[in-house]
Amino acid sequence: MGLLLSIIHSIGQVLSLLVLAYVLLSYFLPITNPIRFLVDRIVNPMLTPIRKIVKPFNGLDFSPVILMIAIYLIEWLLTQLIVAAMR
């Protein structure tokens, strides 16, 4: 059980770090940069559905923040379900 919880936590952390890297790299690197291109290919499919619902507000895109909250909530929900199932 501990291993499964660790895996879920690790995946959540990696996804959160990728979203953070996506935001930071979008300010400093052009889309043609291979590192930014790779991060974009991973993060953009998760951001696209959120962007369809939440439009930018005064030029600010809040979809990465919403995605990070969603990652945290999914991680927490999965953890609670696994702990409850093991009781």
pTM above 0.85, yes or no: yes
Helices (H) and strands (E) in the chain, counts: 3, 0
Domain ranges of the chain: 2-85
Per-residue confidence in pLDDT tens, the chain, 87 aa: 789 999 999 999 999 999 999 999 999 999 899 999 999 999 999 999 999 999 888 989 999 999 999 999 999 999 999 999 988
What number of CA atoms fall less than 13 Å from residue 20's CA on the CB side? 8
Residue-level pLDDT at 29: 92
Bridge partners for 57 per DSSP: 60
